[in-house]
Structure 1
Amino acid sequence: MTNEPGDILAAMTAPTSAPTREPSQAPDYRSPLASRYATKAMLANFSDRRRALLWRDLWIALAKAEAGLGLAITQAQITALERSREQIDFDRVAALEAELRHDVMAHVHHYGEVAGADAGKIIHLGATSCFVTDNAELVMIRAGLELIMDRLYTSLTQLAAFAKRWRAEPIQAYTHFQPAQLTTVGKRACLWAQDFELDLETLEQLVARLPLRGVKGTTGTQASFLQLFAGAKDPHAKVRALDEQVCAAMGFAGSIPVSGQTYTRKLDTWVVSALADIAGSAAKFATDLRLLAHEREVEEPLGSKQIGSSAMAYKRNPMRSERICSLARFVHSLATSPRETHANQWLERTLDDSANRRLVLTEAFLATDAILNLVVDVTAGLEVNPAMLRKNMADELPFMATENVMMRAVEAGGDRQALHERIRVLSLEAAGELKAGRGNDLIARMQADPQLGAHVDDASLDPARYVGRSPEQVDDYLESLVRLLDRHRAREGRFSARVRV
């Protein structure tokens, strides 16, 4: 079986991580997440075949553990199950489900058909449907989180390299989207990276906490398994061992301590909330980049033949950043659903979670995967235009200089309040010149002012004077980030983005 996270990732993650895109001749509908946006690895993780194979892995693990603990299950029966594991005819399963109106029992019957009547007798022994459905979903969820962490790691390493390169490059900062004190390109990149860092830490902790449902029975009491081991000296010890052995076989340290028929759907809220947080981090990054692209300061990479508009040939639209924001809104819209599902689970279980979870869990993972595929692609090729940085700062730098001028004038014995008022008046006059389409003449106005002129020096318009500790903050932050990246160094090279559309 390939249920250890490393084995799963090795099976699903190939050198290419390109989204799959099949011809659209088929008459049936396919989600754009599958046909355009999500990567092959994530699609494979949530595919029908992988789910069915995990169900069979769980039935094999259950049979092996039951046999090892003394139940009358032969090695020949187990061998038959293992030998026929890969033989799945989904058309036959569909025909059985149409007749039985039960998806799990359709698979039980089909597995029995291909494994043989003798092996078929012991499939699903003592189990309820959630033994395979819930446990398989937790395996897929954990593997999906591992894939997401690969993408986060790559995003972080690329943003860290970008921040280091541009650590001291001054750029206009904005509050309320109005010009404010300068920052640096690298410092702004650290703000983006920090959000993704927090997301990676959240997933790291979530994966460590995520249990298997385990072997719990129809209402979580393990009564059916207690009955199977009724003749044992200590039936309770046997059932505990059964639960532990199945968890180990599926690559989990343990199961959830108590459950109803299902594992608590609170786990789903953790997972989808974490994915929505990642979508939010990505959308913040992408929104900032869209604003910067408008100023022509920092831009996403442009394909050599990329077309921005079918009409306006000159357009360079930040289409990848726009798509990140679009997909992020979709993930955010999904985040409320698991909470509602959790809140509406009656007593030990009700089936109104099933159809909802089939949609929400998979789509949340596929959309977040698509978002991070774009983030990795964009962060690999961010373009900075220093000439535009200087041009856009030119009109604002005189305003930046006023605080330093005022501080020097106060140190020379001036009245702070009177100086503040004088600078306010001169600044409004200079702003009027800007609004009239002329240059910012505030420096000249201050130089001509008897209270301020002596305190305006030649370096007043040096942008580096107004970035504060931004370069040093970049250095400090990147040093602190190394600890997290070192813990995840095994992810190096696992993922490279390929955006097809």
Structure 2
Amino acid sequence: MATPGAEEDMLARYRSPLVSRYASAEMAFNFSERKKFGTWRRLWLYLAQAEKSLGLPITDEQIQEMEANLDNIDFKMAAEEEKKLRHDVMAHVHTFAHCCPKAAAIIHLGATSCYVGDNTDLIVLRDGFNLLLPKLARVISRLANFAEKYADLPTLGFTHYQAYIVTGQTYSRKVDIEVLSVLASLGASIHKICTDIRLLANLKEIEEPFEKEQIGSSAMPYKRNPMRSERCCSLARHLMTLVLDPLQTASVQWFERTLDDSANRRVCLAEAFLTADIILSTLQNISEGLVVYPKVIERRIRQELPFMATENIIMAMVKAGGNRQDCHEKIRVLSQQAAAVVKQEGGDNDLITRVHADPYFSPIHGHLESLLDPSSFTGRAPQQVAKFLKEEVRPALMPYQSKMGGKIELAL
């Protein structure tokens, strides 16, 4: 049997009819591989331009080379690199570097995979809404014209004169969707918060309140299960599913109303508010009694910091004249060796000892101590917290200060 060509190979795979038959060319492109990876390259260009403006050793020639190859993507090479490296971002770093030999040393410098991944996702979502909103506006405009044309035409209808400007016998059941969507979103946020607390409790870095005589396990006396967080997660999952009820109810309202909505609404609306009330009360109890164990955190940082410092080491080496991709490979090998000591032998992380012993890193041997300073890894986090509290959180809480039992101080 002959080996199928690229086109035949594509025909042998499932293709979503959403794209092949129905989607607009613009929206299909928005979620395409070419848009995705072309955006990655533009983000790498913006990164290099920003780093150059901040004084990093990046030349105009390197910038121009990247600009000239933004859409020159060898997808076959990228696929082969990803198959070998098992890492999509690094596969495209190497593919971009192949056509930008002068800029190869600084592509993706100081960045994580999420720099291109998450930012591209957000750009694609934004562009997707930019495609949808004009279409929605056109539909609304056409319906408005239709309503205006036939506004005086008498038709049979049933209305009980609700508060809303335009309504049938009942208020639009889309209101229920909006209400439960907000509560479902609250459930998702609380689930995320409490899941993180449970994970941190497992690491013994943070614990929720634990009563003096509370029992964590009938079999294991030492256990301090985060039972409040577990309860929040369990109930939050129920809260998140309730939004499906009003979605289905609103979708099957015949003309102005069908009576099959009442029993469902009696359950889902009340249960959503009851569940939200329970988990908020529980989360308040958790938040008022969280305990942090700095010594445990410090010990874990010491064990992991050498791995975390690898990007700083790469940055320092590039600043000293090294090649980012070459340095990445050197660090990757040494990191795997150090990880083997930790995982297979139960030993301490000896990555920095290995870096000290490798002459390749001699240009930065004298800077390793400063590169390993934990405070250098927090970035703008403290300032971001203060700004977020001042500009977002505190103003949002102001209308409720009388119900919270005290004055709300604005963060400086």
TM-score in terms of structure 1 length: 0.47
Q: Measure, in 1, the Cα distance between the counterparts of 2:166 and 2:310.
A: 65
Change (3 A) 1:384 1:348: same
Which structure has the higher relative contact order (CA within 8 Å, separation 6+)?
Answer: 1
Quote the residue 1:434 is aligned against: 342
What per-residue deviation string (whole Å, max 9, x for no partner) do you get for residues 432-461 of structure 1? 111120000011111111121441432333
Q: Measure, in 2, the Cα distance between the counterparts of 1:389 and 1:491.
A: 36
Letter in 2 for 1:219: F
Runs of 5+ consecutive residues of structure 1 not aligned to the other structure: 1-179, 182-217, 223-242, 244-254, 495-501
C-alpha displacement at 1:375, in angstroms? 0.8
SS of residue paired to 2:386: helix
- Between the two proteins, the alignment pairs up a number of residues equal to 248
Change (3 A) 1:432 1:221: closer
Letter in 1 for 2:230: E
SS of residue paired to 1:395: helix
Q: Measure, in 1, the Cα distance between the counterparts of 2:218 and 2:295.
A: 29
Quote the residue 2:279 is aligned against: 371
Quote the residue 1:485 is aligned against: 397
Quote the residue 1:316 is aligned against: 224
Change (3 A) 1:323 1:221: closer
Letter in 1 for 2:165: P
What per-residue deviation string (whole Å, max 9, x for no partner) do you get for residues 251-301 of structure 1? xxxx21132221111111111111111111110101111111111111211
Quote the residue 1:455 is aligned against: 364
SS of residue paired to 1:451: helix
Matches within 5 A, 1:178-257: 219-220=158-159, 255-257=163-165
Runs of 5+ consecutive residues of structure 2 not aligned to the other structure: 1-110, 113-156, 407-412
Change (3 A) 1:426 1:343: same
SS of residue paired to 1:305: coil
What per-residue deviation string (whole Å, max 9, x for no partner) do you get for residues 13-65 of structure 1? xxxxxxxxxxxxxxxxxxxxxxxxxxxxxxxxxxxxxxxxxxxxxxxxxxxxx
Q: Measure, in 1, the Cα distance between the counterparts of 2:317 and 2:247.
A: 59
Q: Measure, in 1, the Cα distance between the counterparts of 2:324 and 2:238.
A: 52
* Corresponding position: 1:469 with 2:397: no
Quote the residue 2:21 is aligned against: none
Give the % identical residues. Answer: 49
What per-residue deviation string (whole Å, max 9, x for no partner) do you get for residues 171-228 of structure 1? xxxxxxxxx99xxxxxxxxxxxxxxxxxxxxxxxxxxxxxxxxxxxx93165xxxxxx
Quote the residue 2:324 is aligned against: 416
TM-score in terms of structure 2 length: 0.57
Change (3 A) 1:259 1:410: closer
Letter in 2 for 1:485: L
Q: Select between 362-371 and 340-349 the one with higher mean Cα deviation.
A: 340-349
What per-residue deviation string (whole Å, max 9, x for no partner) do you get for residues 360-404 of structure 1? 111111011001011111011111111111111222101122222
Q: Measure, in 2, the Cα distance between the counterparts of 1:462 and 1:283.
A: 33
Letter in 2 for 1:269: I
Q: Measure, in 2, the Cα distance between the counterparts of 1:484 and 1:340.
A: 33
Aligned residues: CA RMSD? 2.1
Quote the residue 1:388 is aligned against: 296
Q: Measure, in 2, the Cα distance between the counterparts of 1:287 and 1:221.
A: 46
